[in-house]
Amino acid sequence: MDRFIVMFIYSDFKIKIVEGDFEAAKKMLADIEVDAETFNALSNASMFLSLAFRYPSEDVYDTLKDNWEAFEDFITDYSDSKIELYGETEMESDYIKLFEQDMEGNKIVPYISYFTEENKMLYGQSTFNIREWMAEEGFVLEDDITDLEDHVYIVLEFMSAIFKKLADPENIEDWYKSLKNLYKVLDNYGPVLTDQFGALVAKRDDMPYYRDFASILVEFVKDIDPIMEDILSGEE
């Protein structure tokens, strides 16, 4: 019964945040303390997954390699498979085949809009929504990034940036605004990451590295809301 009550309070709080009724939300969290450690952990995990789903250029590959040991516990928590970083050239080839140029027609498109827009159109409303939320958060892509804002790895990087702001907000108003944008991403496009993109990649037994990371992505994104509930209800 106690768990049900917490769920109800959290659900009600989340509704107020999404509606922009921050005053009502503040009353529910009058005594809350920002759990910087957990928010930073969520930020780091989101960024690691972002690296796993971007093209493995030399810089990306080296960053994954340098941080692999630090995330071994995270990988183990979310996967029973023994995932290993393999050769850079082979990984580049697999990425291209899986996400860009599969001659057999089995390519998986890594853009949110592909799964949400009519006729699987890229650069659709989903792209503009995410771009708007990024602007609100002051999130700016590097000049050399040519992918659209709704590419899976960019969305994960954006989530990472939001979690980092939640860990160390400049002021309480910004904290609530960032939380609202996080919920907008998760509520609108979380199911795309888990039930559509993630589910498709998780079936690719010919690409075990990406298959296993897709399974981690699915479970991690599904875990965020329960983790947020624990943080905000003080039940950690």
Write the secondary structure of the chain as one string of H (helix), E (strand) and C (coil): CHHHHHHHHHHHHHHHHHHCCHHHHHHHCCCCCCCHHHHHHHHHHHHHHHHHCCCCCHHHHHHHHHHCHHHHHHHHHHCCCCCCCCCHHHHHHHHHHHHCCCCCCCCCCCEHHHHHCHHHCCCCHHHHHHHHHHHHHCCCCCCCCCCCCCEHHHHHHHHHHHHHHHHCCCCHHHHHHHHHHHHHHHHHHHHHHHHHHHHHHCCCCCCHHHHHHHHHHHHHHHHHHHHHHHHHHCCC
pLDDT at residue 6 above 60?
A: no
In a domain, 16, yes or no: no
pLDDT score recorded for residue 4: 40
In a domain, 121, yes or no: yes
Residue 24 lies in a domain: no
User: Does residue 23 sit within a domain?
Assistant: no
User: Is residue 5 included in any domain, yes or no?
Assistant: no
Here the CATH number for the domain that contains residue 140 is 1.10.3480.10
155, part of any domain:
yes
pLDDT in tens, 134-146: 999 999 988 888 8
The total number of structural domains in the chain stands at 1
pLDDT recorded at residue 8: 42
pLDDT in tens, 183-225: 999 999 999 999 999 999 999 998 999 999 999 999 999 999 9
Residue 121: pLDDT above 90?
A: no
Domain membership flag for residue 80 = yes
Host domain of residue 102: 36-233
Instruction: Write the pLDDT tens digit of every residue in 61-120.
Output: 999 999 999 999 999 999 988 898 999 999 999 999 999 876 566 789 999 999 998 878
The answer to the question of residue 12 being in a domain is no
Q: What is the mean pLDDT of the chain?
A: 89
